[in-house]
Each structure stands twice: as structure tokens, then as C-alpha cells.
Amino acid sequence: MVKTGETVKKLSRKGYRLTPQRLMILEAVDGADDHISAEEIYAQVCDQYPNLNISTVYRTLELLKELELVTETDLGDGRVRYHNIKKGHHHHLVCHRCGNIIDMDEAVLSPLKAALLMQYGFNAELRHLAIFGLCKECK
Amino acid sequence: MVKTGETVKKLSRKGYRLTPQRLMILEAVDGADDHISAEEIYAQVCDQYPNLNISTVYRTLELLKELELVTETDLGDGRVRYHNIKKGHHHHLVCHRCGNIIDMDEAVLSPLKAALLMQYGFNAELRHLAIFGLCKECK
DNA sequence: TATGCAGATGCAAGGGGTTGCAATTGCCAA
DNA sequence: TTGGCAATTGCAACCCCTTGCATCTGCATA
Ligand SMILES: [Zn+2]
Ligand SMILES: [Zn+2]
Ligand SMILES: [Zn+2]
Ligand SMILES: [Zn+2]
């Protein structure tokens, strides 16, 4: 799914380079079936390039967020998770009793976004959110 | 604002004690004008009781949350902040360009809460939230 | 009052993530 | 080709917070 040409363009437009490390990290995010953590990316890339440092992973993820190539979310388990932005915008409802995670369409938050803009002139970034509470079974 | 008698009752109902450390920590949260961080609580209480350990502060804050005596929120500056739950339910809109923080009434999120309950049977805990984005000036 | 026992604390180590710095890399212009 | 220079990296130290463990505290019961 990584289109190297486009990625290079997006990076170089801001004076950044597509280094081997960055490419491998992006591929790891891309190849993951689910949300992947920095530590998991690190372990995976280390298999082919053991020199990689974990701080490079974090810095790269920061960069990829900035370029809107990946999104992050914190599902409440003490680490942030990432996925390619092309996997579609969505949010999660996290039950903190049973741990169940319900996927939720982006549209559910549209009225809130509109209300915040209307009432406060605030342009909320409601991207890949996790909302905590109790699910149907645990209520 | 700390009512020792009531607090003791709330604690002992679950088999917990109101230790001097816990009382001092609660008083620090209570006496703060604004949202206060664990480190600030620690520094403040240490003035009168230098033996206090930072992990006791964190454990106590966890307990006070559980008993619904304090709420926490993460305003995006890399540390969690707390205040007494009696200061009223509210949320914050945080501009991540200029850093401006707009206070927001609880009611703004009521429609969302209702929608989540209706559509997903999910009972969301939307308590003392921070929503990030761009304020009117920075848009 | 003496004994038992769960709750609470201090301490040190650990986990996830960030940052300052010096060394390295790779583009670009001469 | 060769410097020059900014971007990038690895490394180590640090920050915020959590956790395992041994010690200590204080209520309850006999
Ligand atoms: Zn997701
Ligand atoms: Zn549940
Ligand atoms: Zn607040
Ligand atoms: Zn702003």
C-alpha cells in the first residue's frame, strides 16, 4: 500500500527525506492487520535492520502523523497505537470493565463537531478517538 | 472544602483508611485554584511532610478517582491534572497551535452521550474531557 | 491488652515515551 | 568532484507514571 513515489513527494515538499528507516517503519505500519504499537513496529523492523533505535521509530511516527500518513489512538492500555490513515476514519468505544472495543463510524461525531464550531468557533480534530465507558453487557 | 467525616465514611465503606498522607494530598488538590498535577501536589505536601513518596501520591489520586472525589484530565502537556469533583463537571477545548484552553459546559456532550447509548447501547463516561483542535483565532 | 491481619507506605526498578547532543548521511551548489 | 550544510540517526539521559516487594500501621477480635 506504500506508494514510495508519492511518499517521497510529500516528504520532500517539506524538506524531509525518505530514509530506509522511515520506509521500513511505514511498511510495518502498513502491513499490520490491526492497530500497531511503536514497540511492535520496532521489533518487526529490527528483524531486517538491527541497528534501528526505538527513538527513531517514535520520531518517524511523529513525522508521519504530521504528514497525515498515519493516525494514532490510545485505547487505554498504556501505549499508543497507529495505523495507516487510508484504512479509513473511525473511532472506538472502549468498555473499561470487559475490555470490549466497538468500532464506530466517523459520522457519529459530526453533530458534536458542528456544535463546537457553531458555539465556540472551535475547529475540533476528532480523528481516531477512543471513548471510554461501559458496553451494553456491562452496564 | 474537605469534609473529613464524610471522606472517612466514603473510604471505610470500602475498607480503606484516611491516612495523614491521603488527607494532605486531598487538601492539596482541594486548595489548588486550578487543575493541579501530581508533581505539584507532591512538592506541596512535601513541605510539611518530607517523607512522602511520589508513588503514594499517584496511588492516592487513583483511589480518590475511584471514590469520585477527584477527576483527572490530560490537557496535552504530558502530564495528567486533577481537581476536586465538586468544582463542577466541565470539559476543555485545547488549541494545539496557540495553547489556548476554552472551558466548555458538560451539556455540550449530552447529545453525543445519548446517541452512543441509542445506537450502540454504550454508556460513555464523558467526564472532564479535553478535545483538541484549532481555536477561532488559529483556524 | 495482646495478637492477627489486611491496608498503606517507601523504595527501587521498570515501562512507555521524549530530548539534547554528537556523529553520520545525503542533497546541492560551486 | 568536492565542500558545505541541513536533515537524520543512535545513544544516553531524562520525564511521567506504575508496580513488586518488604516494612510498617492501625483496626478488630479474643
Ligand atoms: Zn482505530
Ligand atoms: Zn463491557
Ligand atoms: Zn477542568
Ligand atoms: Zn489557537
CATH architecture of B4-85: Orthogonal Bundle (1.10)
DSSP label of B106: G
Closest partner residue to A133 (CB to CB) among B111, B123, B139 is B123
Q: Which ligand is nearest to the CA of B135?
A: 4
B-chain CB neighbours of A58 within 8 Å are none
Residue A2 has a pLDDT of 65
* The pLDDT of residue A88: 85
Nearest protein residue by Cα to C1' of nucleotide D25 = B19
Is residue B109 predicted with pLDDT exceeding 90? Answer: yes
User: Can you give the pLDDT at residue B1?
Assistant: 66
Q: Is B37 a residue whose pLDDT tops 70? A: yes
What is the per-residue pLDDT across A54-73, written as a single tens digit (0 to 9) for each?
999 999 999 999 999 999 99
Compute the distance between CA of residue B123 and CA of residue B117 in angstroms, rounded to an integer: 6
B67-79: pLDDT as tens digits: 999 999 999 999 9
Its CATH class, for the domain covering B90-133, is alpha beta
Give backbone dihedrals phi and psi of A90, rounded to 5 degrees, phi first: -160, 175
Using a CB–CB cut-off of 8 Å, the residues of A that contact B are 93, 95-96, 102, 104, 108-109, 111-112, 115-116, 119-126, 131-136, 139
Mean pLDDT of chain B: 93
Q: Would you call A122 and B133 a contact, using CB atoms and an 8 Å cutoff?
A: yes
Mutate which of B119, B129, B131 to disrupt the A interface (most A C-beta within 10 Å)? Answer: B131
Instruction: List beta partners, residue B105.
Output: B90
- Spell out the residues 6+ positions from residue A103 whose beta carbon is closer than 8 angstroms to its own: A90, A91, A92
Give, in Å, how far the C1' of C14 lies from the CA of A79: 15
Domain coordinates in residue numbering, chain A: 4-85, 90-133
* Per-residue pLDDT band at B49 (split at 50, 70, 90): very high
pLDDT digit string (tens) for A73-132? 999 999 999 999 988 889 999 998 888 999 999 999 999 999 999 999 999 999 999 999
Interface contact flag, A124 B133, Cβ < 8 Å: yes
Note whether A4-85 and A90-133 share their fold.
Answer: no
* Three-state helix/strand/coil letters over chain A: CCCHHHHHHHHHCCCCCCCHHHHHHHHHHHHCCCCEEHHHHHHHHHHHCCCCCHHHHHHHHHHHHHCCCEEEEECCCCCEEEEEHHHCCEEEEEECCCCCEEEEEHHHHHHHHHHHHHHHCCEECCCCCEEEEECCCCC
Best interface-test mutation with A: which of B122, B125, B134 has the largest number of A CBs within 10 A? B122
Separation between the CA of A15 and the C1’ of D5 (whole angstroms): 13
Residue A1: the pLDDT is: 65
Residue B36 has pLDDT above 80, yes or no: yes
Per-residue confidence band for B87, with pLDDT thresholds at 50, 70 and 90: confident
List pLDDT tens digits, range A40-50: 999 999 999 99
The chain B residue lying nearest A130, using CA atoms, is B124
pLDDT for the residue B4 = 78
